[in-house]
Structure 1
Amino acid sequence: MLRRIGRRGASLAFVGLLGLAIAASLEFVPVEQLGTPAYATLSAVAPLKVWALVWGLTGALCLVQMFMRSDRVAFAVATALLLLYGLIYLISTFTGDNPRGWVGGAVWLAFGGWIALIATWPEAVTVDRLPGDATDPAVVIVADAAGVIRSWNPEAAAMFGWTTEEAVGRPLTILMPSRFRDQHTAALSRVCSAGRSDLAGRVIPVAGLHRDGTEFAMTLTVNAWHSADGITYTGVIRPAGGRSVRAE
C-alpha cells in the first residue's frame, strides 16, 4: 500500500463518504417516508437494508482504495452502483411508480458518468525510491506504451522541476530537448512493433531538460515490461555530472 491520494483518491474520498451517508439514510428511514415513491421504487428491487449494506461496502471500499496503488475496483464498483441507481429511477418513471423518477435518474446517471470519467485519469503513483544506496536515491519514472508519464518520484521532481501532479499524464518529451523528440517517438513505435527494446538494461548517456529550459547531462537505464495493459517503461535516471547549460 502506498500513501497516495491525488485527484483520483480525493474523488474516491468524496464518493466513499457519500456512500456511507446514503447507507445510513437507508438504514434509518423514518416510518412515515417508507411509502414515498423514491423508497418504494428501491424496495421493489431489494430491501432497503440490502441497499444500505451495498452502499456501506462501496463507501468503505472507496475510502480504502484512495490510499492504494491501484483503485480500479473501487471506481468500477462505484460507477456500476451509481448507474444502476439511475436506471432504476428512470424505469420507475416509465412504469408510473415514480412519475418524477426521471429527475433522480438523470442526476444519478450524470454522477456515474462523472466517476467513470475520473476513472480514466492517470493513477499518480509515487515511488519513494529504489532499493539500494539510500544516500544516492535514483530518479524513477514509469511511462506507458505511448510515452505518457504514469509515475514520478520525488527525486524526479527535484531533477526536472515538475511536481508529481504536473508530470503524470504528460509525455516524456517534456524531459528532453526538442532536437531529440522525433527520435524518441520513432523509438517508441519500433518497440511497439517489435515487442522489445535493444536499449533495455543498458546505461545510456543522454541530455535532460529542466522545466526552466536548462539542459543537463544524465544517464538513463530503461526497461520495458509487458502486461495485460500493454508495454510499460521504467526509467532509472542519475545525473552524469558536468556543468548545466541553458538551452537555446
Structure 2
Amino acid sequence: MIRDWLPALRHRIGHRGAFLLFLAALDVAYARRLAWPDPHLDASPLYAYLTGIAPGQVWAVLWGGVGVLCGWGAFRVRDAIAFTAAMALKFVWAAVNLLGWLFASLPQGDWATALWVFAALVVYDVANWPEPAREPGGTG
C-alpha cells in the first residue's frame, strides 16, 4: 500500500517538501518531549535551565508551532516562511544553549550550541535548493 502513495507524495512535494516534513516530525517530537518530559529529562540541567526561562509548555508550543508550519509548508510552492521559521528556531535554540553554557554553567552547552547552529545551517542550505517542478493545478 505504501508503494502506491509514497512515490506520488514524493513527486508532489519534491526534495524541499520532504525535508520540511522531516523538520515537522523533528519539531513536533521535540515539542512533545518538552511538554511531557520523562523524569530523567525533568531532572536534567538543560530542562531546569529552560524552565527557568519559560515553562516547558511554552517551549513546546514554540517547537510545535514551527513543526506545524513546516508540515504545511511542505505542500506549498512558496515555502520560505516555513524554512525561515525552522532555521530561526534552531538559531534561537543554539543561542539559548550558548547563553546557558556561558552564564549558567550549562553542561555541554557548547556542544549543543554547535549542534543547533549546524542544524540551522543545514536548513539554510536546503532552503536555497531550487524549487522542484510542480504539476499544474498544485497548491501554492
Q: 1:100 aligns with which of 88, 92, 108?
A: 108
**Residue 233 of structure 1: aligned partner:** none
Runs of 4 or more above 2 Å deviation? 30-35
Whether 1:117 aligns to 2:125 is yes
Q: Distance in 2 between matches of 1:122 and 1:33?
A: 39
Between 60-69 and 96-105, report the one with greater CA deviation. 96-105
For residues 18 and 32 of structure 1, do their structure 2 counterparts lie closer, same or farther at Cα, with a shift above 3 Å needed?
A: closer
Percent identical among aligned pairs is 33
Offset at residue 31 of structure 1 (A): 4.1
The answer (yes or no) to whether the contact 2:12–2:135 under 8 Å persists in 1 is no
- Secondary structure (helix, strand or coil) at the match of 2:68 reads helix
Offset at residue 99 of structure 1 (A): 2.9
Whether 1:26 aligns to 2:34 is yes
Larger radius of gyration: 1
State the one-letter code of the partner of 1:68.
R
Whether 1:89 aligns to 2:91 is no
When the two structures are aligned, how many residues end up with a matched partner? 127
Structure whose residues are more often strand by fraction:
1
State the one-letter code of the partner of 1:123.
E
Higher relative contact order (CA 8 A, sep 6+): 2
Whether 1:47 aligns to 2:68 is no
State the one-letter code of the partner of 1:78.
A
RMSD (Å), alpha carbons: 1.7
Whether 1:77 aligns to 2:85 is yes
The answer (yes or no) to whether the contact 1:41–1:97 under 8 Å persists in 2 is no
State the one-letter code of the partner of 2:73.
Q
**Residue 162 of structure 1: aligned partner:** none
Q: 1:57 aligns with which of 65, 69, 83?
A: 65
TM-score (norm 1): 0.48
The answer (yes or no) to whether the contact 1:69–1:125 under 8 Å persists in 2 is no
Whether 1:5 aligns to 2:13 is yes
Structure whose residues are more often helix by fraction:
2
The answer (yes or no) to whether the contact 2:31–2:64 under 8 Å persists in 1 is yes
The answer (yes or no) to whether the contact 1:8–1:66 under 8 Å persists in 2 is yes
**Residue 142 of structure 1: aligned partner:** none
TM-score (norm 2): 0.83
